Structure 1
């Protein structure tokens, strides 16, 4: 039986936004325990001691090997590749010819002619398509996330961060770790096995006392490395944490997750949609929230309106460059944190649980995510001034909050706005969305991390 393409799936359903907003899938299923102890202590450990996340299962790894690897990456990514090479990493952004985002992923430079893109598969799928159709001397090998993988993953990935993380890493390494630049990799030995570590501060406080590292190596060494990290971490209060702390911690840093891939329309992109299987990332994506439009293009964003303008560099030619040069001159939305009003949140809980009619959308605690991509409307009076993305409660903030993008003129610290919670017409057809009514939540803008 021939595999249905994304283009065929869109034509069968009749409309891409109907496919996305009424997707039956909800958030992605993944082999990621929600908690190992309790999410409150796991969240606290990010700020107070150290935390370890097992990221071996929920991300897709796509490997690119060959003489044209760097050229391929440079011609598809908005990032600068002037200093790229072995042991260098990037938060890679890829766009369509109109300068609108297709996706992001973490790029690891493994060797001179080998790299891997790790994360949600939207960005890697686009790069793979260019590799196979653009005349590049590059081989592509996919290692699907565990949920979609019929075999065994190739590598383990453990993220460790927090104020005590570096002490744990040096103890398990058997000595000091040489200075490592941000988003650069180094080599360590753990439990007698060579591993590589990417230095970053994706979780925890962004200060100098909150160094973190993502450690990876052959999957067969994973159990021994994990045991060594946990044993070394006992002295320093290391907490093993699950998916709830992982995702809520990333929202603390302002991480908005992924955009709606700007690939569902346009004649130039039709060949790509015909290449994409309908059951890959783009075909199973779910879009939810109170912001609703009949035109899928209203969900597309440029890097400048998604907080990634600093990842666009015009020192090389790449897909979408000309359009982004024009985008750069426009007013942009600004990334902010929305601190939700406690009384309004309590009212959501009360009415969603105990009201006999007109119940609001239930607020799953601590992570209120019911679609893969969230677009909640942010209002100033009756004006739409922005979009709220992922929302959560953490004990570190002591409140509910979300990462949002607000029009620059309205992005004033301390300004009051309203977030509209819940979907139109009583809720879309996503299986995990119960019948409900839309409900306003008062919120306060914070332009820097609380």
Structure 2
């Protein structure tokens, strides 16, 4: 944690929105090679053959162990834990007392009373705070991502994703055994290069696959064995650029704005939380009410995860929200002509250009919040935007009012900031409106159905 707390930083900046809009903290990137071939080919690999992605460096692990570890997680998670035994994992979701999302991460139940919470720091910090300030008989070990870890110190574990239609055949080749019939988000073990490898049945881009992990010192041998066996299955290594877009196909929103920056109920948490864990806020949303940036689990597709079979922080609020959800998650397919015009403005010298559109991922703040309009009125928030080569489409993941959520509905996304902020990734530019069409989330039919089929 940094010496300055988030609460102190808010007061110094004159408000949370001022602090976050001008924060120099960039979006999370992935400290692996940007491309091994090119990001278009690497995107296509998880659709057409098999891709190998390295997750070892960009995520943080919070290991929680002890007799009260499960109670701690249950007290803070909206998920049901009734049947959550060792060898399973789940998308763990936590909310604040008002039912607004703090964050999500993948929770691995490794052994009895031993868990690994993996993801961006938002929800990990929330869990660690409650352990340190609450009455729980448990301990934590934190393995920060490679940006924040002590220089020269490797990760505790390697973590690889093997996914695509050839993933199972590849794993059978490299292990010399049939791949067990494992349900989605259940774990099994493989033997690769003489090492025991734990595997989670998973699929980041909506394709069949496994997340493989084990001790860091064994990772190179495991990776080399996969690469050696992969040629006959058209294995392609996916670099950071392609990896950053995998969520667009499976419709996972990586960094919704965490609802911790306002309210007396969370003041003690903000006093504990260091600014090193803080992100940046970008986009065309310009409300001065910070709660307008908050979302609920129902807004971004986690409504089916919420289980009222236990007490947890925010339960009473979510029970009321569940009666009348306001918004839902969708994919917005951006109008190709409007995107081309925005990019083309970079070559026109007679006026200020539009905000630069990065490829393949165009998000330029950790927490992207762009206005979605219908007839000039706010109808939602676009949160993550990028290009899917497999669909030849620029898309964004968004939450929109239920009244405008039907596929085919026409909306407008406001791209760029007004006024421009001081974030390093923001150059002088003008706002532009880009037409978009509402589509399902996930956008890809295979991801909507087959890959989660148990």
Q: TM bucket by the smaller chain? A: over 0.9
Q: Secondary structure at the match of 1:304?
A: coil
Q: What does the per-residue CA deviation read over 1:286-338, in whole Å, with 9 as the maximum and x for residues that have no partner? A: 11111122122211111111211111000111111011000101133121111
Shift of 1:358: 2.1
Partner of 1:290: 284
With normalisation by structure 1, the TM-score equals 0.95
Match among 204, 211, 217 for residue 220 of structure 1:
217
Match among 185, 201, 212 for residue 199 of structure 1:
201
CA distance in 1, matches of 2:29, 2:161: 20
Q: What does the per-residue CA deviation read over 1:364-397, in whole Å, with 9 as the maximum and x for residues that have no partner? A: 1111111111111111111111111111112211
Partner of 2:448: none
Partner of 2:318: 324
Partner of 2:391: 397
CA distance in 1, matches of 2:133, 2:408: 50
Check the 8 A contact 1:93/1:103 in 2, yes or no.
yes
Partner of 1:66: 66
Q: Secondary structure at the match of 2:236?
A: strand
Cα separation, partners in 2 of 1:2 and 1:95, compared to 1, 3 Å: closer
Shift of 1:354: 3.2
Partner of 1:244: 241
Partner of 2:375: 381
Shift of 1:255: 1.7
Q: Which moved more, 1:259-268 or 1:130-139?
A: 259-268
Confirm or deny that 1:234 pairs with 2:231: yes
Partner of 1:207: none
Q: What does the per-residue CA deviation read over 1:131-186, in whole Å, with 9 as the maximum and x for residues that have no partner? A: 11111000011100001100221000001111001111111111102211110111
Alignment of structure 1 residues 17-28 onto 2, 5 Å:
17-28=17-28
CA distance in 2, matches of 1:2, 1:407: 38
Partner of 1:420: 414
CA distance in 1, matches of 2:231, 2:65: 40
Partner of 1:172: 174
CA distance in 2, matches of 1:119, 1:275: 20
CA RMSD of aligned residues (A): 1.4
Alignment of structure 1 residues 5-404 onto 2, 5 Å:
5-150=5-150, 151-204=153-206, 210-280=207-277, 283=278, 285-404=279-398
How many residues align? The count is 441
Q: Secondary structure at the match of 2:73?
A: helix
Shift of 1:407: 0.8
Check the 8 A contact 1:203/1:212 in 2, yes or no.
no
Any runs of at least 4 consecutive aligned residues in structure 1 with deviations exceeding 4 A, and if so which?
none
Check the 8 A contact 2:256/2:383 in 1, yes or no.
no
Q: What does the per-residue CA deviation read over 1:231-261, in whole Å, with 9 as the maximum and x for residues that have no partner? A: 1111100100012111212112212212211
Q: Which ranges of structure 1 fall in alignment gaps of 5 or more residues?
A: 205-209
Partner of 1:442: 435
Check the 8 A contact 2:283/2:416 in 1, yes or no.
yes
CA distance in 2, matches of 1:2, 1:168: 44
CA distance in 1, matches of 2:108, 2:410: 41
Cα separation, partners in 2 of 1:237 and 1:30, compared to 1, 3 Å: closer
Q: Secondary structure at the match of 1:107?
A: strand
Q: Secondary structure at the match of 1:424?
A: coil
Check the 8 A contact 2:330/2:398 in 1, yes or no.
yes
Q: Secondary structure at the match of 2:92?
A: strand
Shift of 1:113: 1.1
Check the 8 A contact 1:334/1:406 in 2, yes or no.
yes
Q: Secondary structure at the match of 1:435?
A: coil
CA distance in 1, matches of 2:16, 2:369: 16
CA distance in 2, matches of 1:432, 1:366: 16
Shift of 1:352: 2.0
Check the 8 A contact 2:64/2:140 in 1, yes or no.
yes
Q: Which moved more, 1:214-223 or 1:359-368?
A: 359-368
Q: What does the per-residue CA deviation read over 1:172-201, in whole Å, with 9 as the maximum and x for residues that have no partner? A: 111102211110111111100001001012
